[in-house]
Structure 1
Amino acid sequence: MSDLPFLVAGGGIGGLAAALGLAGTGRAVRLFEQAPAFEEVGAGLQMSPNGVRALRALGAWEAVAPSCVIPSEIHMRDGRTGALLQRIRLGKGFEERFGAPYRVCHRADLLAGLLAVGRGTGRIELNTGRHATAMEEHEGTARLVLDSGEMAAGAAVIAADGIRSGLRAAIAGNVAPVPRRVTLYRALVPLEKVPPEIEADCVTLWLCPGGHVVHYPVSNWRSFNILAAADGDGRDAGWHAPATSGEVARRFSGACEELESLFAAPAAWLRWPGADLPQLPRWSHGNLALLGDAAHASLPFLAQGAVMALEDAAVLARETAAQPSAASAFRAYQDQRKPRTARIQEQSRRMSRIYHASGALALARNLTLNLASPSFALGRLEWIYRWTPEAAA
C-alpha cells in the first residue's frame, strides 16, 4: 500500500471519524473541510450501544462520554391523548443486555470529542476553508481537486461530504437525494425553559396522526433537543430554513396540552425537507470510497444516521489495517456495510408510516405497544444495537 497520506473530504462526524480510524492504523491523513471552522449543524442525536462500541473502537468514547446525558427511560406516548404507551428503562439491565450504554448528546459535542482525539494523534492534518470539488485516480494515485485549483495527491480518497455530496458522481454516477414527503423541524432550548409537564429526563417519542415528535436533554443537561416530523412537502427553502412555533403547532393540530406547551417553548425553529438516498450500485472504485450520508443517507426515524457513519469509520479502519491495498480494503468495507445500511434506510422509511399512522392502524399500533413487554420492544432493535466492530457487518 502506498505511503502517501489518505485524503478525507468532509469534516463532519463521518469525515473526522474516518480520519481518526485511519490514523489509528498508523496512516497519515489529510482532511479537507469547506467551512471556515469545524462545526456541526443540527442538534441532538441518540447514541445507541452500537454507536458507543464504534466510538470505543475509534478511541474516542472517553472524550465524548462526559458531555453525554444518561436518560432514565424511553417513553412512547400518544400525541393526542398524552397516554403512555410504552416505557423502556435504560439502566443496568439495558447495559447488561446490549453490552454498552445508551446515551444522548449534542452533535457539536460529538464532533468536539472526535476533533480533540484526532488532533492528539499527530497524524491528521486538518484543513478548513478548503472545498473539494472532484476526486479521481491517475496512475495509481488518488487525487482531490480543490476549488482553489490545487490538486492534493494521496494513497486514497474518502468522500464524507454528506447527502448532497459533490464527489459521489465519481463512484456512483449522478444520484440525487430522494424527497420523502416529510418536513423536519428542530429546536434547542435551555433546559430550564422546558415546560414542567414535560418529563425532561427521558427520551420521549410522541406519536401523532401525520407526524411525530422526539425530545431529550443534551450537552450534559444544559439544553433540550426537540425534533418534529410532519407529513407533507411544505416549502423547500433549503436544509436549514427558519420556521416558527406557530408553523410547527399548525402541523400538529389536535396535539395534547403537553405538546402544545412544548411547541411554544423554543425561541426559534429550523425546518428542512426529509430525504434519503436510493441504494447506490457501489460505494468504492479503486482507491476512492464514499462514507456516511454520502453513501447511505437515511431518514432519521431510527436515530441511526450519525451512528452509521461511526460504524463505517470503524470498519473502514479495520479493513485498511487488514488488507494489502486501499482498493481491496474499500471493497471489503463496501461489501460488509451495504446490507446493513440498506436495511436501516428501508426500516427508517417504514417507521415513518408506523409513527404517523391514523385511524384503525394507529389504534392497532397503540394496542400493540400497550400489550408488548419492554423486552419484546427492545428485541425488535437487537439487530441494530448488538453490532460490534469485530462483526462481519
Structure 2
Amino acid sequence: MTDHPFLVAGGGIGGLAAALGLARHGHPVRLFEQSPAFEEVGAGLQMSPNGVRALRSLGAWEAVEPYCVIPSEIHLRDGITGALLQRIRLGKPFEEQFGAPYRVCHRADLLSGLLTAARRNFKIELNPGRKVEAVAEMPSGARLTFADGTSADGAAVVAADGIRSRLREAVCGSIQPTPRGVILYRGLMPLQRVPPEIEADCVTLWLCPRGHVVHYPVSNWRNFNIVAALDGDLAECGWQAPAPSAEVARSFSGVCEDLSNLLAAPATFQRWQGADLPALPRWSSSRVVLLGDAAHATLPFLAQGAVMALEDAVILAREVTRAPGLAQGFEGYEGQRRARTARIQEQSRRMSRIYHAGGPVALARNLTLRLTKPSFALKRLEWIYRWTPENSG
C-alpha cells in the first residue's frame, strides 16, 4: 500500500503488538513511547487460548512463553466460608478442547516478550523517551508532534496510548473514561511469602459480598499476583496510588481466615478506580486509528483487556495490508472488532455484579456453581476462547 512507515503512539502491550503485526506484513514501523524505557507496572494477566493464538500470529509467543506459568486448575470459592464452589482442570484436555493452552503471567513479562520480538524485527524502529503531544492529518499521511518540539511523518498513526489516550480526540472528540463503581487493588509479592494454606499453583477466585479477589503465580513462579475488587468510588480518580494491606483487609472484613491471611501478606497494594470506555462513535479517521484500551478499555473481570489489544493488532495489520486503501483497511478492522470488544465490555460489567452479589442472590449463584459441571462453564466461554485470526469478529 505504501512505503512510508506507520507511526505507533504508545509502547505498551497494544503498541508493541501493533508494531509486530504491521512489520510481519511488510510495513515499516516507527514506535514512540513517552517513558525513557519500555516498562509495564500493571497487574498479572491471564493468557487465554485466544491470546496465545494472537501472540503466535504476531510471532511473539516463543518470546513470551518462558515467562508464563502453567496453572493446574481454576478454583471458584466462597470468600466468607472458604468453600470450594467449582474447579476447572487445566492442562492437556483443556488445550485439546480449545486448540491452545491457558497460561498466566505478569504484564511486565508479556511486555518483555513483545519487546524482544520487536527488537529482532528490522522493520521496527523503537523510540523511547518521546512524548506525543499532538497528531495532524495531511492528504499524504499523518504527523506526530512531540513534547521536545520535534515531529515525525508517516503513512498513518496507530494510537495505542491507553484508556486516557491523548490522540483519541483527533478521531472522535473528547470522550473520557467512565468510572464503574469499583475500586481495584493490586498486590505482588515473592511466591515464598504465600501462606501455606493457599493453593499457590491454581488461579483462584474468591467471591465476596461487594467484592472479589483473584490470585495466581506469575513470572515463571517467582512472584504471586493478587487483585482485589471492591464496590465503591475514589474521591481522586488518578491512575494509581499506594494502599497499605491494612486498608484492603478492612475492606474485606468478615472473609474466611485463609483469604484474610493472604490479603495481609503483601506489604502494600496499588489502588485505582475501575473504569472503562463508552461506545465510541468511530475508531478511525482517514489517517489515525485507535487500538486496544484507547478504543475499548474494559473492566478486568473477564481477564481479556490485554488479550483484546493483541487480537486488535493481528486484525488491524491484516486489514490494512489487504485493503485497497487505508480508510478501507481501518473500516474493515473496526467492523471485525467492534461487536466482540463491546460484548467483552458488557460482560465484564455483568461479571462484577455476579461476583459481588450478597444475600439470596449469592446463595443462588453458589448453588448454581456447585451443581454446574465445569464443561458447562467452559462452554459459556467458547465465544472468547475459540477466536482465531481466520474466524475473527
Fold-level match, TM-score > 0.5? yes
CA distance in 2 between counterparts of 1:263 and 1:341 reads 32
1:320-331 matched pairs, under 5 angstroms = 320-331=320-331
Which one-letter code corresponds to 1:158 in the other structure? V
Q: Which residue of 1 aligns with 2:382?
A: 382
Q: Tell me, what secondary structure is at the counterpart of 2:278? A: coil
Residues 300, 348 of structure 1: 8 Å contact kept: yes
Q: Is the counterpart of residue 52 in structure 1 residue 31 in structure 2?
A: no
Q: Find the aligned partners of 1:341 and 1:78 in 2 and give their Cα distance.
A: 29
Tell me how far apart the structure 1 counterparts of residues 193 and 354 of structure 2 sit (CA, whole Å): 31
User: 1:121-165 deviations in whole A, cap 9, x for unaligned?
Assistant: 111111111111222211221111211222211011000000000
1:311 aligned to 2:308?
Answer: no
Deviations 1:182-229 (A, max 9, x none): 100001010000000110000000000000000000000000000000
- Distance in 2, matches of 1:59 and 1:258, equals 41
The residue that corresponds to 2:138 in the other structure is 138
> How many angstroms does 1:324 deviate by?
2.0
How far apart, in 1, do the equivalents of 2:392 and 2:92 lie? 28
RMSD: 0.8
Structure 2 equivalent of residue 171 of structure 1: 171
Q: Which residue of 1 aligns with 2:217?
A: 217
Give secondary structure in 2 for the equivalent of 1:302: coil
SS at match of 1:300: coil
8 Å CA contact 1:19, 1:29 repeated in 2: yes
Aligned to 2:202: 202
Whole-angstrom CA distance in 2 between matches of 1:392 and 1:31: 26
Q: Does 1:181 align with 2:205?
A: no
Which residue number in structure 2 is paired with residue 158 of structure 1? 158
Equivalence for 1:283 = 283
Q: Report the AA paired with residue 378 of structure 1.
A: L
Q: Which whole-Å deviations, capped at 9, do the CAs of 1:330-351 have from their partners, x for residues lacking one?
A: 1100111000000000000000
C-alpha distance after superposition, 1:33-79 (max 9, x if no partner): 00110000112100000000000000000110011000000000000
Say which is worse superposed, 371-380 or 320-329, in terms of deviation.
320-329
Q: Which has the higher mean CA deviation after the structures are superposed, 279-288 or 157-166?
A: 279-288
For residues 76 and 264 of structure 1, the distance between their equivalents in structure 2, rounded to whole angstroms, comes to 20
Contact 1:25 / 1:320 at 8 angstroms: preserved in 2? no
For residues 260 and 62 of structure 2, the distance between their equivalents in structure 1, rounded to whole angstroms, comes to 38
Unaligned runs of 5+ in 1: none
Tell me whether 1:76 sits opposite 2:76 in the alignment: yes
Amino acid at match of 1:123: K
- Which amino acid counterpart does residue 143 of structure 2 have in structure 1? R
For 1:274, what is the secondary structure of its paired residue? Answer: strand
- Which residue does 1:12 correspond to in 2? 12
**What are the within-5 Å matches in structure 2 for residues 233-252 of structure 1?**
233-236=233-236, 238-252=238-252
Structure 2 length normalisation: TM-score?
0.99
Unaligned runs of 5+ in 2: none
The aligned amino acid for 2:189 is: V
Encode CA deviations 1:230-267: one digit per residue, 9 max, x unaligned.
Answer: 00113426212010111001111111001110011101
Contact residue 211 and residue 228 of structure 1 kept, 8 A: yes
Partner residue, 1:368: 368
Cα distance in structure 1, aligned partners of 2:213 and 2:235? 20
2:368 counterpart of 1:359: no
Normalising by structure 1, what TM-score? 0.99
Structure 2 CA distance for aligned equivalents of residues 201 and 140 of structure 1 = 53
CA contact (8 A) 1:21 1:317 kept: yes
Mapped to 1, the partners of 2:175 and 2:162 lie a distance apart of: 12
In structure 2, what is the Cα distance between the partners aligned to 1:392 and 1:226? 32
Question: Counterpart of 1:133 in structure 2: which amino acid?
Answer: E
- Is 2:6 the partner of 1:39? no
Shift of 1:8: 0.1
Deviations 1:256-287 (A, max 9, x none): 00111001110111100000000101101112
Match of 2:121 in 1: 121
1:4 aligned partner, one-letter code? H
Equivalent in the alignment of 2:259? 259
The number of residues matched between the two structures is 393
Distance 2:129 2:39 in 1: 12
Percent identical residues: 73
Partner Cα distance (2:151, 2:107) in 1: 31
SS in 1 for 2:280: coil
Cα contact 1:71–1:90 (8 A) shared by 2: yes
Give the secondary-structure state (helix, strand or coil) at the position aligned to 1:273. Answer: strand
CA distance in 2, matches of 1:117, 1:143: 26
User: Per the alignment, in what secondary structure is the counterpart of residue 20 of structure 1?
Assistant: helix
One-letter amino acid matched to 1:113: G
Q: Tell me the SS of whatever aligns to 1:301.
A: coil
Q: Is the 8 A contact 1:236 1:272 kept in 2?
A: no
Equivalent in the alignment of 1:228: 228
Counterparts of 1:85 and 1:172 in 2: how far apart (Å)? 44
1:320 deviates by 2.1
Distance in 2 between the 1:74 and 1:135 partners? Answer: 44
| Structure-1 residue corresponding to 2:22 | 22
